[in-house]
Structure 1
Amino acid sequence: MIDSPPHSHAPERRRLNRQIMIVPAALALVMIVSIVSYVMRGRASNTSPVSAPIATPTAFPSPRFDPDAGAALPQNRVVAFYAVPGAAVTGPAHELTDAMLVRLKQQAAVYQQLDPAHPVLAGIDLVVSVPDRRPGPAGTYSHHVDAATIDRYVEFCRKHGLLLFLDLNFGWSDPLGELNFFRPYLKLPFVHVAVDPEWMFPRHNGVPGINLSNVRAADLNPLISAVAQMPAEYQVPRKIFMIHQYRPDGDDLADPYNPGAAIIADKRNLLNDTRVDVVIHVDSVGGWPGDIEVKTEQYAKWVAQGMQRFQNFRYGGFKIFYQLESKNKLMTPEQVMALQPAPMVITYGN
């Protein structure tokens, strides 16, 4: 018996092993080629979940804020009752009663009939910063109406659809600081601002009710600018900034800073900002024969001529005093509306 050489089958086993290893490798290669081909077809057709873009939500632009929407002026006219709370002598809005509301709406309706093109918005011009003849604890010759009273007026106006002017008289108070004190109320869309330079002494050179005041555009412009920014800041309609004028301008005077001759030294320098509706409001007091002619001439000079000369305010306002001026002859709504341009804010005091 002849023995076979040792390991005579080794080459055959190695060939068999290589064949066994080649099969899975070939299968793997086929799978890779198939996957790559699938991916490429998906990219070409843009239908493969591997290559499909991630869906993003459609972006819609948010509505652009428009301060003109709902603004009181120029589409409407305002008729308001004036008062210091609790002081009957100051105006018919000194207390909140149903009778006062009826009277206010009746007065507003008269102007509505005279000019149907401008719906009338009724309102209250409420003194919230009250001038004093004494310095008081803060040394400001003024005091604030208490918050509870202001809140009652706010809710009354909200309930009955009235505008509310917060009337600032300042005394020695810092004007911008005084405005900012009442800023929380000004976030409301129906609350506006009135200022009375007659009681304003930013240089501490007089006492309210004793001395005459004289203010400058530089005293009023920070207030105008602050109120102009409020619509965008609080997303509310454009606000009214009403400046009461009791005595003449100083623009044509040799000494425009003389309190005896002028109340606003340089009206020409008032800030012109279209983001706020500035109203020059004639609130001089009549009550004697010829007073209607005098007040008519004041409106022509302080409002109509000033509007044309300076072009930094757009609207005029006018005040009637029920009790004081009826001693002679109360100016009628027809006479008020005959002023040129017709006042857009008309207030009534006592």
Structure 2
Amino acid sequence: MQQAPQHKNAPESIEREQQPLDQQKTHLLNTDQAETTSEKENKARTSEDQDVKRKSIEEEKTHLLDKSPLLERPQVYWYKRRTSIIAICCALVAITALVTLPLWQTLLQGSAPKPPTTTQAHATPTAQPTPIPFDPNVGAVLPNHRVVAFYAVPGAEVTGPAYVPSTSMLNDLKKQGAEYERLDPAHPVQLGIDLVVSVPDSYPGPDNTYSHHVDIETMKAYLAFCARYNLLLFLDLNIGQAPVMQEVNSFLPYLEKYPFVHLAIDPEWMFPRHDGIPGTNLSNVRASDLNPIIDAVAALPARYHIPRKMLIIHQYRGDGDGLSNPYNAGQAEIADKRNIHSSPNVDVVFHVDSVGGFPGDKEAKRSQYAEWVGQDIQNYHNFRYGGFKIFYKIEAKTGIMTPKEVLSLNPAPLIITYGN
């Protein structure tokens, strides 16, 4: 039997017939996948909506619980309540213990057996050295020494031999001091210079004070000279109408710094109430003018731990105690000497400054010293030492008092100064 011949293009025909079937399958698969994806998305949205609702409900419940303690969860509520009860119980126990503690201590001490008494040896404490208090007497010049000093306004020869710090002046000073020490070896002589550093003027000057200070270079020269030759230096204030303590405070630093520096004040040239001109009018000062100076110098030893200082108060005329008008400058230089302050921390020396050079001057000066120093020490008890001044050139006319005559005064002066 003859087989039917096969067409050589049969595979191609089959492929053409099969292509529409494949396309149809693909379309159905895509449709199924699309439906499946849509269902999944719908389910996801539903799940998310449920989560949002659940969270909203939880937040609302939490909000309600926070707002009202009555809506707390039972376990939280009972936990807080139990904690509060425990805290209250602890507080009650502590209070009870504090209240009853003294009672329990008393009961326990009464019932406890007492230990046997034994004698214990105590170590003897080591003795500590007692600190030595500061003593302003240590190193003080007075009363164990006598001072012999030359006086001057710097550069003014007419005022005194110390107008220039020179070796020739120093040699003369040594000779003069040696005479006093020979006569009274119980009081070794300390040499010094009484230097006017606040100089009185007959004109007001730029500060309207009728006085001026020596220049700083002059001060340095005298300080160096005294330090080199172991001399005392008295800064002498003749302040005119300048404020008293302003002048004093200008020079106190020298007393604080240099052990050999001391102070002098001359009421003859003081016009604290601006009621006179130096060299023209007589002055009249009061204790209230001088006491601040005394107090300021007396404060130095304790403040700076330095030996007691000397304060010379020159007296040229009598004082007003016993006068009907003690403030009359024509009758008294110091109105109320009885009111002068006394202090163990400053050696106040009233220094008789009267000038001789006339017949009978020695007797006059002896009488003045006896009254202004001897009697006033006994009457007022506010100073202990006297000073005396001699003028080489002025008193040479009638004969200068010798050291022996000076020491015969009662009490013997512990400061003697020499001017010209």
Same fold (TM over 0.5): yes
Q: Which amino acid aligns with 1:299?
A: Y
Residue of structure 2 in register with 1:48 after alignment: none
Residue of structure 2 in register with 1:150 after alignment: 219
Name stretches of at least 5 consecutive residues in structure 2 with no aligned partner.
1-126
CA-to-aligned-CA distance 1:182-240 (integer Å, 9 cap, x gap): 12211111111100000000000000000000000000000000000011112211000
Displacement after TM superposition at 1:63 (Å): 3.6
Residue of structure 2 in register with 1:209 after alignment: 279
Among all aligned residue pairs of Structure 1 and Structure 2, give the percentage whose two residues are the same amino acid. Answer: 62
Residue of structure 1 in register with 2:174 after alignment: 105
Displacement after TM superposition at 1:62 (Å): 4.6
Tell me the secondary structure at the aligned position of residue 326 of structure 1. helix
Match of 2:320 among 250, 257, 271: 250
Please tell me whether residue 225 in structure 1 is matched to residue 298 in structure 2: no
Match of 1:342 among 403, 409, 412: 412
Tell me the secondary structure at the aligned position of residue 158 of structure 2. coil
CA distance in structure 1 between the aligned counterparts of 2:157 and 2:132, rounded to whole angstroms: 46
Residue of structure 1 in register with 2:396 after alignment: 326
Q: Which amino acid aligns with 1:137?
A: P
Residue of structure 2 in register with 1:23 after alignment: none
CA-to-aligned-CA distance 1:121-164 (integer Å, 9 cap, x gap): 00000000000000000000000001110111111111111110
Match of 1:129 among 178, 192, 198: 198
Displacement after TM superposition at 1:60 (Å): 5.6
Aligned-residue Cα RMSD (Å) equals: 1.3
* Compared CA separation, residues 315 and 137, structure 1 to 2 (3 A): same
CA-to-aligned-CA distance 1:42-77 (integer Å, 9 cap, x gap): xxxxxxxxxxxxxxxx97655422111110000100
Larger radius of gyration, structure 1 or 2? 2
| TM-score normalized by the length of structure 2 | 0.69
Displacement after TM superposition at 1:252 (Å): 1.2
Match of 2:231 among 153, 162, 165: 162
Residue of structure 1 in register with 2:157 after alignment: 88
Tell me the secondary structure at the aligned position of residue 299 of structure 2. helix
CA-to-aligned-CA distance 1:85-132 (integer Å, 9 cap, x gap): 000000000001110000001100000011000000000000000000
Higher RCO, 1 vs 2 (CA within 8 Å, ≥6 residues apart): 1
Residue of structure 2 in register with 1:174 after alignment: 243
Residue of structure 1 in register with 2:146 after alignment: 77
Q: Which deviates further from its counterpart, 62-71 or 301-310? A: 62-71
Residue of structure 2 in register with 1:277 after alignment: 347
Q: Which runs of 4+ in 1 moved over 4 A?
A: 58-62
Q: Which deviates further from its counterpart, 227-236 or 95-104? A: 227-236
CA distance in structure 2 between the aligned counterparts of 1:234 and 1:165, rounded to whole angstroms: 19
Tell me the secondary structure at the aligned position of residue 240 of structure 1. strand
Q: Which amino acid aligns with 2:155?
A: G
In the TM superposition, 1:286-325 aligns within 5 A as: 286-325=356-395
Residue of structure 2 in register with 1:139 after alignment: 208
Q: Which amino acid aligns with 1:168?
A: L
CA distance in structure 2 between the aligned counterparts of 1:184 and 1:222, rounded to whole angstroms: 16
CA-to-aligned-CA distance 1:6-36 (integer Å, 9 cap, x gap): xxxxxxxxxxxxxxxxxxxxxxxxxxxxxxx
CA distance in structure 2 between the aligned counterparts of 1:279 and 1:157, rounded to whole angstroms: 21
CA distance in structure 2 between the aligned counterparts of 1:95 and 1:59, rounded to whole angstroms: 54
CA distance in structure 1 between the aligned counterparts of 2:186 and 2:131, rounded to whole angstroms: 33
Tell me the secondary structure at the aligned position of residue 89 of structure 1. helix
Tell me the secondary structure at the aligned position of residue 338 of structure 2. helix
CA distance in structure 2 between the aligned counterparts of 1:114 and 1:93, rounded to whole angstroms: 24
CA-to-aligned-CA distance 1:251-305 (integer Å, 9 cap, x gap): 0111101111110000000001111000000010000110000000000000000
Question: When the two structures are aligned, how many residues end up with a matched partner?
Answer: 294
Residue of structure 2 in register with 1:117 after alignment: 186
In the TM superposition, 1:26-41 aligns within 5 A as: none
Tell me the secondary structure at the aligned position of residue 397 of structure 2. coil
Name stretches of at least 5 consecutive residues in structure 1 with no aligned partner.
1-57
CA distance in structure 1 between the aligned counterparts of 2:144 and 2:400, rounded to whole angstroms: 28
Residue of structure 2 in register with 1:197 after alignment: 267
Tell me the secondary structure at the aligned position of residue 243 of structure 1. strand
Please tell me whether residue 183 in structure 1 is matched to residue 252 in structure 2: yes
